[in-house]
Amino acid sequence: MDPSVYKSASKIKCPVCNHKFIPAYYHLEKIDYVLENNHHNFKIMKHKTSNGDLKPKNLVRKSWITSCPKCFYILRFAAELGKKRFLNGDSSRFHLKEFKENDKWFNYEFESIKQPVNELATLNKKYLEIVQIKILDALDGLNLFKWGKLYKKWISDLSIDSFKFLIRFCYKFDNYCNELNEWASTQGIEYKIETLNFSDDLKEIMVKIEKLRLDTMNNNHELNKKDEDVLRKAFLKLMFELVYDRLKDLELDQLYLVEFYDDYDREILIKNVEKYIENYIEGNLGLGNELENFMRTLFRKLSLPPPSESQYHYKVKQIIANIFKK
């Protein structure tokens, strides 16, 4: 997945080594100034100024601080800037923010200044949002909520028994096949299954489900525990392949190659992406006890580490596996 949000981002040029970089962080430094009025025995300023008793025209009260990743030079940028302002007329009452110079009253009006360029944390958030939008666009077309609504009613024993689930599941699958290939709408379900880009395992089990439907309707076959296990397996297998087929084109495994991330940031990014997918699947399909195994298998096939496994350990396992393959 192309991290163009980083490539187009503004960079800081280090004045010492001329290295251009995106700051990994900013530290906000606050400078405390204390104004003085001699009549009230207050100190003029905590820090002396270069022009003696006169206060500067501009006063930096806060600074954005970062450092060059190449030479470690510390850079400061104004974060809160005060501009000296003349107060018309004598001050009616003394205020700590007011001060007197040459028999005239002044104060500082401060304004906040944004970071000179976005730090990595901000860009990371934008990139994550882009990835999430692409995932959402890919999965929304599947209408998983409708599939999940049917499944949740079945496993929760709410108004849908195994026979009703079988009939409605086959009906929805037939409609799905027709939406993909309108020209095949008049063909039998076995022909439709064969024309779809499914694995041989899924094709085989969906043929079994169709035969089970016919046997149940025509021969008064009573669904047993074994039939229900096949039915559950068929549903999960179908949902898995539909989801995987949509996500594989996003090349989520390329998240490993985002050059602007260090290992820690990259691991956080991947975990956030995985959590987003998991929440989407759970919210729409409601797989219950099957969710953990569903997600673990999906992430492995997408070349992403399972949620409970760090990227480092997952990569080590991949390297070892490749060595033994050779």
- Total count of domains within the chain: 2
Query: Are 215 and 298 within one domain?
Result: yes
Query: Are 100 and 173 within one domain?
Result: no
Q: Is residue 285 part of a domain?
A: yes
Query: Are 129 and 258 within one domain?
Result: yes
Query: Are 222 and 243 within one domain?
Result: yes
Query: Are 139 and 253 within one domain?
Result: yes
User: What is the tens place of the pLDDT at every residue in 37-95?
Assistant: 444 443 444 444 444 466 778 788 899 999 998 999 999 999 998 888 888 765 554 45
Query: Are 227 and 78 within one domain?
Result: no
Out of 116, 131, 147, pick the residue that ends a domain.
116
- What is the per-residue pLDDT for 45? 46
User: What is the tens place of the pLDDT at every residue in 237-271?
Assistant: 999 999 999 999 888 887 766 666 667 677 888 88
Q: Is residue 8 part of a domain?
A: no
Share the mean pLDDT of the chain: 80
Q: Is residue 7 part of a domain?
A: no
Out of 84, 101, 116, pick the residue that ends a domain.
116
Query: Are 111 and 202 within one domain?
Result: no
Query: Are 143 and 247 within one domain?
Result: yes
User: What is the tens place of the pLDDT at every residue in 259-307?
Assistant: 666 676 778 888 889 999 999 999 999 888 899 999 999 999 998 876 5
- What is the per-residue pLDDT for 209? 92
User: What is the tens place of the pLDDT at every residue in 143-177?
Assistant: 999 999 999 889 887 667 899 999 999 999 888 88
- What is the per-residue pLDDT for 286? 85
Q: Is residue 18 part of a domain?
A: no
Query: Are 96 and 183 within one domain?
Result: no
CB atoms within 10 A of CB 285: 23
Q: Is residue 13 part of a domain?
A: no
Closest CA to 49 of 105, 101, 103, 114: 101
Q: Is residue 59 part of a domain?
A: yes
Closest CA to 176 of 197, 151, 199, 154: 197
d(CA 157, CA 160): 6
Q: Strand order in 104-112's β-sheet?
A: 27-30, 58-67, 74-86, 104-112, 98-101
Query: Are 56 and 150 within one domain?
Result: no
Helix H, strand E, coil C: the string for 12-54 is EECCCCCCEECCCCCEEEECCCCCCCHHHCCCCCCCCCCCCCC
Q: Return the higher-pLDDT residue of 181 and 3.
A: 181
Query: Are 112 and 145 within one domain?
Result: no
- What is the per-residue pLDDT for 275? 93
d(CA 148, CA 153): 8
Residue with token string 């997918």: 277
Q: Is residue 4 part of a domain?
A: no
Q: How many residues does the chain have?
A: 326
CA distances (Å), origin 65, targets 250, 292, 306: 37, 43, 37
d(CA 135, CA 290): 21
Backbone angles phi, psi at 41, to 5 degrees: 60, 40
Least confident stretch, 29-38, 88-97, 186-195, 294-303: 88-97
Query: Which residue range is the domain that position 295 belongs to?
Result: 122-325
Out of 96, 116, 136, pick the residue that ends a domain.
116
Q: Is residue 16 part of a domain?
A: no
Query: Are 150 and 213 within one domain?
Result: yes
